[in-house]
Amino acid sequence: MNDRTPAVPAMPNFAPDDVRPHDPLAVALGNASLLGVGYLMLRRRRLALAVVVVTVVLVSQVVSTADSAYEVAVLVWWVAVIGHGWFLARSGGGVGGARGSVGGRRLVVLGVTLPVLLAVGLLRFDASRIGQSVADARERGDCTGVLSAQDEVWLGHRIADAPLSARGDDVVRACERLRIARTELATALTGDTDALKHGFGTLASVLAKPGNEQMVETTLDGFLRGLPTKDSCDTVTVTDWLYDRKRSDDVLDRSADTAERTAPAALMGCGDDLMADDSWEQARTHYQQLLDRYPDDDLADRARKGARQATLSIELAHVRSLLTERTDGQPEYCSSPAKYSGAKPLGKGANRALFYPDGEYAIDHSEKLPGSWKADGPSDAVLVVCMGETTFGSSVETCSYYKSGSSGAVSNVTFYRIAIPVKVYELRTGKLVANRTIQINGTSCPGSIYTSADSTSEYVVETKSAVRSAFRPLVVR
């Protein structure tokens, strides 16, 4: 028997056909999706989860802050994850072997990573297109175009290119502020200077950010096209504010040019409207403002005439009030005369006058004057004659009369001319042109008189011709 046992060959240790070493390129491509696919191929589930968590946090920061630093951080994180997957696969850091062929594994990870990268690229391209549309509309000053373009932005654009999307948001916010400014400036056209101040303040704040010049100019142009308004006085309020506005050496200063063109006609129109409303002081102020600021304007001659008419109306109203108000029986004018420059000057012939007697007796005298001497009012008067209380003038004759009821008793009665102190003012200048006492003559010593028992003085009985003779030198030159 042969002691030698025949040798049995050892069985080779074959791995399953579908198990292969880990492919570094496939792992790196899988991690390029930032979804942890490469780590899942290495069966490193915790690392895969960590990648997803960190990616979500970084993307959230990118979207919420639109800070380009976070975009750099995402890029660095992306490179780090790719590199780490590559080196981990090469060093055999996976758990178990990879299944499937190398080509198959690469196609699988490309099927995941490529759509992610393609989506990001397309979204960045589309965000750039939208950003350009926003920029073009901004350059045209077209806020409607800005809003329309920015409305296309959604979360995907903000993830793919947050800073660019955020810049579009800034332009939208500028347009919203300009919308508020337009509302404020529309209110300002009604003469609201507070709204005007706020509107220009809003424009200035938007203009402070570079790139908004054309949008601000478009908004300003819309406001300036509203001048002049239908109400001239509202227009004056606006142009006065623009005239006084401190220059800012920017596009807002164009408003001063519009004010220069609009203000003269507005001042003239407002002055005319105020004259029609009998607001003469304010009307004169507007006419004079036109003359002071724009002395060479075509409306200057009309403004001078308007200012003159307003002055005359003011003077006439003042004279009327003085002639109406009474002090001790006479009008205030007699103690505080004022001029009415529209009155006719004192001249040859009869000068029509306003007579103001003091007391009933003096009234009787003024009523005997001819109508051609009397003015209907201050608008057609030349003189104002203020008549004082009637007193005894120079004596004319003394006569004896029997006292009534007595037996033969005789009383001597002296007859005196009628003395009336008068002050005569020229209405045109308000100056005193005569200050004297006139005396009216008349008949004396009638056959009988009715008087008190102790009376020894009586007035002569004046005639109409005597009254007129006394007053003639005052009104007829």
The residue assigned the tokens 């096209």 is 225
pLDDT digits (tens, 9 = 90+) for 252-303: 999 999 999 999 999 999 999 999 999 999 999 999 999 999 999 999 999 9
Tokens in use for 328? Answer: 């001790």
- Amino acid letter, residue 245: R
pLDDT average, residue stretch 240-257: 93
Strand-pair partners of 459: 416
Question: Is residue 32 within 8 Å of 78, Cβ to Cβ?
Answer: yes
Question: Is residue 123 within 8 Å of 156, Cβ to Cβ?
Answer: yes
Mean pLDDT is lowest, of 24-28, 232-236, 282-286, 301-305, for 24-28
Nearest to 92 by CA among 42, 162, 158: 42
Instruction: Identify the pLDDT of residue 102.
Output: 53
pLDDT digits (tens, 9 = 90+) for 213-228: 999 999 999 999 999 9
Torsion sign, CA atoms 95, 99, 104, 107:
negative
Question: Is residue 146 within 8 Å of 177, Cβ to Cβ?
Answer: no
The three-class DSSP label of residue 364 is helix
What's the whole-model pTM score?
A: 0.71
CA distance 94 to 26: 13
CA distance 164 to 169: 9
